[in-house]
Chain A
Amino acid sequence: MPNIAIRKLALSTVSMAALAIPAMAQTPAATKVTDQGISATEIVIGTHQDLSGPIKGWGVAVANGMKFAVDEINLAGGINGRKLRLILEDSGYDPKKAVLATQKMLEKDKIFANLGSMGSPTVAAAQDIVLDAGVLHLFPLTAAEFTFKFDPAKPQERLKFNNLLPYVESTRAAVKYMMTEKKFTKPCVISQDDEYGKNVLDGFTQQLAAMKITPASVTSYKRGTSDFSAPVAKLKSDGCDLVVIGGVIREPIGIMGEAKKLGWSPAFLGATPVNVIDVPALGKEVVEGLYAAGGFEVPYEDTAKGKIKAWVDTYRAAFNATPNTQAIIGYNVVTTFAHYVKLAGKDLTGQKVLTALESGDGFQDIFGSPVTKFSKTNHLASTITSVQQVQKGRWVVVKNGLTF
């Protein structure tokens, strides 16, 4: 295809330019990128997931999605003739284990890239080791800033990229939409006491500050709690008409159930982790009408069409589990990586993959997420958000393409 030829040409120009720039500009030092893990037949990639700890509900499904993508790519002949080999380690959400697992993968398995590793404290503790080894740290399962914001003075930091929708930005976009389009006047927030909950809270307060609105009520709960009677009573007495929930799966169900008990029905808006199949599946009629910020449309097995239908069926057959958002994110981690490795060409090196990632070439997944695109200065794929709502027990997209 001429398209590819042009792209290749553009790419080689870009890579030549990239090589030329350090000589001209006064960049402190060139980024060291390793070629380890690349052989004539294989590319080794590694990830640490929580398979046995507090967020294994995410870790196991993400790992399945990643395995699924690896198998699919290998069955189709690999990337430019090289097959992927995935090293999967369990961190149990323990930063110490994440550090040791990462060192093991770097030294024993000689991974070429660290993909989709799980959790904020775990990734925070282990990320530097990956970068210092010259190994790409791609698309971890935490939307925290340290996974994509980089300091140009530190060349190794250029190796980190993220494609997850960040909590702060997505919450801001969703809150903005709800406040302007749905005309709510008394917004409130209830968030859990951890780094993720803090991000949702920040997104909420930043957006309201930008819109010059004071929140009617701000409350929090301890992670793992199941009794929401006190905070919900507080929200009700403060007269909220929109409640933003910085929870995950059980919390929105618990909070809305409590509100129902009190005969109180404001609008509820969850952050992105709420936008998973498990919420309406477990919450049933309790969560009917719940809004959530999301990245892509959640596919259902009976209504999926075309490529997504095929994906959903193969996934179900392979893992005997419901294909969910988590699995899709895991799948996308690997397919996005594969896209840029393919772009880097047959004569593969670490430097070429980095150049391909920063080339600005877009990747579109099969699930209709916003296009993934990075540049030399921006290592975060996208902040475009959709707002979805549970209608008749299913997530339905209300509005797409939102920003704040």
Chain B
Amino acid sequence: MRFVFKTNYDQDIRLFQHAGQMWTYLALFAVLLVAPAVVSSYMLSQLVFVFIYALVGVSLMILVGFTGQASLGHAAFLAIGAYTAAFMQAHGYTFATYFLLAGVLTGIVGLLVGFPALRLHGIYLLIATISFSFIIEELLARWESVTNGNEGMRVKTLELFGMEIGRNSDYFYYLCLGVLTVTIIVTLNIMRSPTGRAFIAVRDSETAARSMGVDIAATKVRAFGLSAAITGFAGALFAHKMTFLSPEMFTLQLSIEFIMVIIIGGSLGLHGAILGAIFIIMIDPLLTLLKDDVPLLIGSLAQAFGAGSERVKALEDGTQALTSTAGLKGVIYGLIIMLFILFEPFGLYGRWLKIKLFFQMFPLYKKSTFKRQKVYVKSERNR
């Protein structure tokens, strides 16, 4: 087991705790760089969605995971970013301009939404953000001169440095990867700065944070603004990936999906946002593939056990009928989420930490390392 011997306070806030960590991430980055040459465009498309969802995941991690403010309004932030980008592109602005503005404008809206958050907690804040998202949805449907209302808005192909970048091209993949990487690095830096520490202080106890001189109001509003801005950037990419925007794409359901990203990923750190995004995006295609392949697998298994061809066919058809049942995917999806919430409150990242520790400590691992000392319900916590 590795033991990092600390001789300096700065070591606590280094981006990489030790050289091994740095090499691992560089290796991961290298793999992602060569991915377009290796994987199919179907897979590449999934990765682009993972990157976009991971961006939203990171933004939610800042707001929900680190600052402890609830939000079910992130679909609305995504919509603001997406529509800003699409509208400005249609009016002849360059990508650099509208991409930045999508983030900045969404950030400003986020700041405004942050103000009610000063007085609201937990479930009440949740309701406020839901109402905000309804207002935006309604606005998108009504403000026809800008959003084209319910008819929806087509988004032109992205143009950068004089060339067209299709939504399924390798360049678009690299663009999304780049934006995500920069966002993660910036976020990590913010989190080790006084601002980031104030976020965490506010989450853990507002009373304690205030007594330490943290400006609660400014911190919360900042967290909202920052989170919204990142989602705005994601929105601009989302607009180009979908090529079509309509108000019914940005519903409460999407906000819930975003929250699921960090619940499944685990709210311990940014890793959770990435793992959650991978899970949320990949589970559906994976279940789709299983739907096609499981019947064949069962068939060949039966054959191996010496079943007649008629029986094999019957088995294959039976499994096919079962696996193609509409809504089965939804049930499996829901079940997995429930199991996570019940048995792994720290999500995929929490599970990964446990597995890692198990092998590092082998054979001395003990379960109680991760036992929660005290279980809080948000409303019980002393504010």
A residues adjacent to B (C-beta < 8 A): 51-52, 56, 60, 88-90, 92, 95-97, 99-101, 103-104, 106-108, 120-121, 124-125, 128-129, 132, 146, 193-195, 197-199, 223
Contact B40 A107 (CB under 8 A): yes
- The answer, yes or no, to whether B326 is at the interface (CB within 8 Å) is yes
For residue B168, which residue of chain A has the nearest CB? A129
- The answer, yes or no, to whether B215 is at the interface (CB within 8 Å) is no
Contact B326 A51 (CB under 8 A): yes
Q: A104-B42, A104-B288 are in contact. Are A51 and B327 (CB under 8 A)?
A: yes
Tell me, rounded to whole Å, the shortest Cβ–Cβ distance linking B236 to chain A: 16
A interface footprint on B272-290 (CB within 8 Å = 1, 0 otherwise):
0000000000001100110
B residues adjacent to A (C-beta < 8 A): 40-42, 45-46, 49, 141, 149-152, 154, 168, 241-244, 246-249, 284-285, 288-289, 292, 324, 326-327, 329-330
Known: A95-B244, A104-B289. 17 other contacts (CB 8 A): A52-B326, A60-B326, A100-B284, A101-B288, A103-B45, A104-B288, A107-B41, A121-B244, A121-B246, A124-B152, A125-B243, A128-B243, A193-B150, A194-B247, A195-B152, A195-B246, A223-B248
Across chains A and B, the number of contacting residue pairs, with CB separation under 8 Å, is 80
Contact A195 B150 (CB under 8 A): yes
Contact B42 A103 (CB under 8 A): yes
For residue A96, which residue of chain B has the nearest CB? B49
Tell me, rounded to whole Å, the shortest Cβ–Cβ distance linking A33 to chain B: 19
Contact B151 A198 (CB under 8 A): yes
Please name all residues of chain B whose beta carbon is closer than 8 Å to the beta carbon of A198 when the two chains form the complex.
Answer: 149-151
Please name all residues of chain A whose beta carbon is closer than 8 Å to the beta carbon of B151 when the two chains form the complex.
Answer: 195, 198-199
Q: How far is the CA of A124 from the CA of B244 in the complex (A)?
A: 6
Tell me, rounded to whole Å, the shortest Cβ–Cβ distance linking B335 to chain A: 15
DSSP majority for the B interface? helix
For residue A119, which residue of chain B has the nearest CB? B248
For residue A145, which residue of chain B has the nearest CB? B151
Please name all residues of chain B whose beta carbon is closer than 8 Å to the beta carbon of A52 when the two chains form the complex.
Answer: 326-327, 329-330
Please name all residues of chain A whose beta carbon is closer than 8 Å to the beta carbon of B326 when the two chains form the complex.
Answer: 51-52, 56, 60, 90
Contact A193 B249 (CB under 8 A): no
Q: How far is the CA of A99 from the CA of B326 in the complex (A)?
A: 18
Q: How far is the CA of A108 from the CA of B288 in the complex (A)?
A: 11
Q: Which of B45, B154, B330 is within 8 Å of A100, CB to CB? A: B45
Contact B284 A97 (CB under 8 A): yes
Q: Which of B49, B141, B152, B288 is within 8 Å of A120, CB to CB? A: B152
Q: How far is the CA of A52 from the CA of B326 in the complex (A)?
A: 6
Please name all residues of chain A whose beta carbon is closer than 8 Å to the beta carbon of B289 when the two chains form the complex.
Answer: 104, 108
